[in-house]
Amino acid sequence: RSSDAGPAKFKPPSKPVIVDKQRQTAERRFLSPEFIPPRGRTNPLKFSVERKDMIQRRKVLSIPEFYVGHILAVTTADPYANGKTSRFVGICIRRGGKGLGATFVLRNVIEDQGVEICFELYNPRIQEIQVLKLEKRLDDNLMYLRDALPEYSTFDVNMKPQSYLDHEEVPVNKLQVRMKPKPWSKRWERPNYNIKGIKFELPEEKMKEAQKWSKPWLEFDMLREYDTSKIEEKIWKEVNEELKK
Amino acid sequence: MMPIWTKSGKKHAVTLLKVQDCHVLKYISKEDSGGKSPALIVGGKNGSPFSRSEAEMKIFREAGVPRKQKVTTFNVTEDAIIKPGTPLYAAHFRPGQVVDVTAKTIGKGFQGVMKRWGFKGQPATHGQTKTHRRPGAISTNKASKVYRGKKMPGQMGNVYRTSFGLKVWRINTKHDIIYVNGSVPGHKNCLVKVKDTKLPTYKDCNKNPPFPTYFADGDEKLPEDLYDEEMFQFTDPSVTYA
């Protein structure tokens, strides 16, 4: 009788790969940029003392995670306003400063007048910071919105906060902004600003002339390197532990 | 330097000063110094003993203290004399007191008249031959001499200067840090002398200080942070105008 080569070896079915999306995306760490100490000869004790104060303030007022390009609503205590609070809605143009003096600039166009207000993150007069729309832009610095057409900086003052899931990635808006005719406040076409979010409608010769000011050696300059990954991890752990208490 | 907010919402800038290993080194009586009041020599911040001569090291050895980098004299009243060898802490000062801070300013080297004294110089164009940052005339015809103290180029900085009337906002007893209003002469991490004010307007502010000084092994147990009454502490809720 014909002999098979024994019974076919039992092949177990492939194990199902469980992708836990919650745990994966919870690994996304965001450390607010004002926690990272700048390069310098200051005593690290100063930064740790300052960080304690910042964490104390964060326990009282919850400062959400936000980047440049988000649309925020900030309520501050104002002694000269009705109801003693004033609310301002705008797009975050830039975040500056380190430590307790960290600031962010919100821009909006109200009744055809462009308004920019610079708020301090740790100012005790701020009652609430609300994120209305989550949206990262292509650049870190949106100062060119001053020379762009006003429609790109107008936002509804009574905008409802957009609901967003906690563990999704922050969406990047690849909007190319159209500008008013030149002259601009700064020469945004030059490579030292490194702007990717403008739709340049300039002739080709002007774009080539702007490339004359490019400094291709800057990215290879070793003295300018400041590797913050290890510092960031330490600080992130410290901040998270303190906030949980 | 750091920002600080008051309970009414105003912002002030503040300098952090660290009190690092301060010890009283020697007591000089009124007759020895020949001055009006006895003096105490205080030293701060430990350093290596090898770069100083034996005569200077004698003071440190008698006090039983490692070699200090900064040594200063304070004129003290008779009842405020402290035994040499006692350590001094930041809790010697209290929030609300007013203080003078002396330090060596940042050295800028040999500087010209425009940077050192703020002269306007000369225009860049319109026919100026080799004259853009020069002082111009140094005296008149009638004087026929140059007065003493005429502002001229020379060494700028690296000189002891004092800022007066600085309020103390906060004291951290754990790390020995004093938060002093405004800016202070000197570069980052430089050595500084902190003294009670000599200004007459703040005479009332310096009442009831820890006298003669704050003793760590004494009965007084201070909390980790001492705040001024007007200062906003970050544990409080946000400031509102009712």
Judge: domain B2-106+161-227, CATH 3.30.160.810. yes
Q: How far is B150 from chain A (nearest CA, A)?
A: 37
Looking at the domain assignment, is residue A124 inside a domain? yes
Q: Which among A164, A142, A48, A149 has a CA at the least distance from the CA of A96?
A: A142
Rounded to the nearest 10 degrees, the angle between the axes of helix A229-244 and helix A44-60 is 40
Looking at the domain assignment, is residue A42 inside a domain? no
DSSP one-letter code for B206: T
Q: How far is A42 from chain B (nearest CA, A)?
A: 6
Q: How far apart are CA B103 and CA B184, in angstroms?
A: 8
User: With pLDDT > 70 as the criterion, what percentage of chain B qualifies?
Assistant: 100
Burial class (CB in 10 A: 0-12, 13-18, 19+), A242: middle
pLDDT tens, residue by residue, A72-124? 999 998 888 877 888 999 999 999 889 898 999 999 999 999 999 999 999 99
Judged by CB atoms closer than 8 Å, whether chains meet at B241 and A100 is answered as no
Q: How far is A179 from chain B (nearest CA, A)?
A: 37
Judged by CB atoms closer than 8 Å, whether chains meet at A46 and B238 is answered as no
Instruction: Count the domains in chain A.
Output: 1
Which letter, b or e, does each residue of A115-129 get, where b requires 16 or more Cβ atoms within 10 Å of its Cβ? eeeebbbbbbbbbeb
Looking at the domain assignment, is residue A111 inside a domain? yes
Beta strands in B147-217 (DSSP E): 154-156, 160-172, 177-181, 192-196
Contact A95, A30 (CB under 8 A): no
Q: How far apart are CA A27 and CA B187, in angstroms?
A: 41
Looking at the domain assignment, is residue A165 inside a domain? yes
Looking at the domain assignment, is residue A43 inside a domain? no
Tokens found for residue B104: 């060596």
- List Cα–Cα distances, A106 to A66, A185, B97, in angstroms: 12, 18, 39
Looking at the domain assignment, is residue A227 inside a domain? no
Which ipTM did the prediction report? 0.86
Task: State which H helix or E strand residue A208 sits in.
Answer: helix A204-210
Q: Give residue ranges of A with CB < 8 Å to any B CB.
A: 40-43, 45-46, 49-50, 53, 56-57, 60-61, 77-79, 84, 99-101, 120, 122-127
Judged by CB atoms closer than 8 Å, whether chains meet at B239 and A56 is answered as no
3-state secondary structure of A130: strand
Amino acid identity of residue A145, one-letter, is L
Per-residue tens of pLDDT for chain B, all 242 residues: 899 999 988 999 999 999 988 888 888 888 877 778 888 888 888 888 887 778 778 888 888 888 888 888 888 888 888 888 888 888 888 898 999 999 999 999 999 999 999 999 999 988 888 899 999 999 999 999 999 999 999 999 999 999 999 999 999 989 999 999 999 999 999 999 999 888 999 888 877 777 778 777 777 788 888 898 889 988 888 888 86
Count of CB pairs separated by less than 8 Å, A with B: 65
- Residues of the domain holding A124: 62-214
Tell me which chain B residues have a C-beta less than 8 angstroms from the C-beta of A77: 9, 238-241
Looking at the domain assignment, is residue A20 inside a domain? no
Judged by CB atoms closer than 8 Å, whether chains meet at B18 and A84 is answered as no
Q: How far is A194 from chain B (nearest CA, A)?
A: 32
Domain locations along chain B:
2-106+161-227
